[in-house]
């Protein structure tokens, strides 16, 4: 199983464009804030628009 997983995680990956990131960001802001509260870590970099 480990070998199979590693083989799936190798190679070039398509990158999300800044426009795609910015379009999805509002959908995840509440979850990112909840993750900050659960972990006690600052996730403000995840909440910034790109571009």
Q: Where are the domains of the chain?
A: 16-51
The C-alpha atoms of residue 3 and residue 51 are separated, in whole angstroms, by 37
Confidence at residue 10, expressed as pLDDT on a 0 to 100 scale: 73
What pLDDT shows up at residue 31? 98
| pLDDT given for residue 26 in this prediction | 97
Residues 35 and 43 sit within 8 Å (Cβ to Cβ): yes
For the chain, which ranges sit under pLDDT 70? none
Could you give the CA distance from residue 51 to residue 36 in angstroms, rounded to a whole number? Answer: 23
- The pLDDT, as a whole number, for residue 5 is 74
């Amino acid at each position: 199983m480990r070998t199979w997983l590693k083989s799936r995680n190798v190679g070039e990956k398509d990158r999300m464009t800044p426009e795609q990131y910015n379009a999805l960001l509002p959908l995840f802001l509440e979850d990112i804030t909840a993750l900050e509260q659960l972990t006690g870590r600052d996730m403000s970099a995840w909440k910034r628009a790109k571009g």
